Chains A and B, each alone.
Chain A
């Protein structure tokens, strides 16, 4: 049997990193078919067709599939589901919105945030903010899942398969109004090699520029704790943690972040962790490879300057 992989597409562009990592995660399960949905997605479909190890690319170009609206996207997947043993997507906001809906329509349980595929029926996933790892087997006919991509390396893109048009049903239950997406030249948080994150200790939106300055010096992405986002220092899409993004860069620098379990859930698989905090008892130091105790307002500018 084969795997249907729902591709993330942002503004007509394939989210190549997320899709390529998801391909790696599921390719042991069978032929991988990528589904690209939404009018204007031709170039995303063409990009998907280059990914190594992809057997087919299906492109549903109906306007109803734009903006990731869950009802029509789920209906489309269900209309294609008969041919597949597994239906997967990356653990992005888009796939987390759609996949449980697909699962319920197929009367199967969803497997959220899979971190390892053991065999066709057996999967690992973190629970309790990553404080426990569960191995589960599914007795359902179709396995519907989202893949936490942070720990996978993406496949390359030396392949070429044809893009096949498909169509499916449309559900007129919701409509798109607007996106508020800040564009930035910085690397994407979930795929960056280095992430610099700021917490409540940074104190204001203005002072968050210190974090951004350090990040820019390192060519890094910027992250934040929930407290920093809630306080309005940083936008919501920067939140790292149990309920934000999960990252595993080679270097993670946590500045003015205490290290609550909900934050650790999103970054503790980073290769090297640095913590800068004025409280030497802060729990973040229990996971940090290198800790620097002191005032971030002197240490961060000094670090930025000396790098």
Chain B
């Protein structure tokens, strides 16, 4: 079974985000970019499926600027076999919307014929939490979101999902789309020899036109502003002082 893993290049999760003063967006010039953390978990899961003999080939796909190939190389260094870069914009300031990403991925799925697509639960830049569900809809496949456990058994997969009340286990028909949550696994680091080897692995460069997909956004960003900040308050010296403040000053207990 072939496994497809879409990986997104996003601002590194440790970077302090700065909103541009003119309200036009978030400043992405010269900031550290990395693989979306959830996508690292998806790549890791695919590699483990291959190590178990369930998966035969892992194809990673990224949609965005040319530099997304760095993210793809990271995935290849972790253990993916082959990469597809779909260059859909020439500026990092343009985020390709989940609907367009899902359409491109659906076209890739039709070409590649994977039995499983492992997506991240959400991209930590746009926080949409949408692409996997949209791809599943476009393909008419089953979906299992927010996975913390995945067991594939022939033509079904048993997936445990992190839901609001705790955990839910469902059984889905293969082929399927799984979106991965934080506790599915701990992704490995790529070793230096594997980083070197990854340079020789195949990476195909495509454009949305190759798939006949229109990536024009449906949402227009009017403005981007910083949220109302919170000011640091005071330090209290004792539990008694804290209780007094909460009772008399804040009136919350």
Contacts and interface: CB of A to CB of B under 8 A. Distances in A.
Contact of B121 (A101, A134, A243, A299): A243
A135 interface: yes
A226 B38 CA distance: 14
Given A230-B182, A243-B182, A292-B239, A94 B220 contact: no
Given A245-B164, A251-B252, A303-B242, A133 B232 contact: no
Given A288-B232, A288-B233, A290-B245, A137 B220 contact: yes
Interface in B119-150: 121-122, 124-138, 141-146, 148
11 contacts: A67-B168, A93-B161, A104-B135, A112-B129, A135-B224, A194-B253, A236-B183, A251-B250, A291-B236, A292-B238, A306-B243
Interface majority SS (helix, strand, loop, mixed), chain A = mixed
B19 interface: yes
Interface stretch (B42-50, B56-64, B95-103): B95-103
B118 to A, nearest CB: 16
Given A174-B144, A237-B163, A110 B98 contact: yes
B102 A104 contact: yes
A136 B133 contact: no
Contacts of B166: 179-182, 235-237
A223 B121 CA distance: 21
A99 B121 CA distance: 14
A103 B99 contact: yes
Contacts of A56: none
Contacts of A24: none
A305 to B, nearest CB: 9
Interface in A76-105: 92-94, 96-105
B218 A292 contact: no
A69 interface: yes
Contact of A103 (B121, B130, B144, B245): B130
B140 to A, nearest CB: 8
Nearest to A69: B170
Interface in A4-39: 10
Q: 10 shortest A-B CB distances, which residue pairs?
A: A289-B233, A104-B134, A100-B133, A100-B130, A104-B137, A173-B142, A109-B218, A131-B17, A177-B169, A181-B165
Contact of B138 (A102, A104, A134, A287): A104
Interface in A265-307: 268, 271-274, 280, 285-293, 299, 302-303, 306-307
Given A109-B218, A132-B19, A230-B183, A286 B171 contact: no
B221 interface: yes
Contact of B146 (A93, A130, A226): A93
Interface majority SS (helix, strand, loop, mixed), chain B = mixed
Interface residues of B, number: 78
Given A97-B133, A140-B218, A303-B239, A132 B224 contact: yes
A135 B226 contact: no
B66 interface: no
Interface of B: 11, 13, 16-17, 19, 26, 97-99, 102, 121-122, 124-138, 141-146, 148, 158, 161-173, 181-183, 217-227, 230, 232-236, 238-240, 242-243, 245-246, 250, 252-253
A200 to B, nearest CB: 14
B219 A272 contact: no
Most buried by A among B136, B250, B253: B253
Contacts of B164: 10, 92-94, 190, 237, 245
A122 interface: yes
Contacts of A160: none
A254 interface: no
Interface in A175-223: 175-182, 190, 194, 218
A293 B235 contact: yes
Contacts of B102: 104
Contacts of B146: 93, 97
A126 interface: yes
A173 B144 CA distance: 11
Contacts of B238: 292
A179 B164 CA distance: 11
A100 B142 contact: no
A133 B227 contact: yes
Nearest to A291: B235
Contacts of A288: 232-233
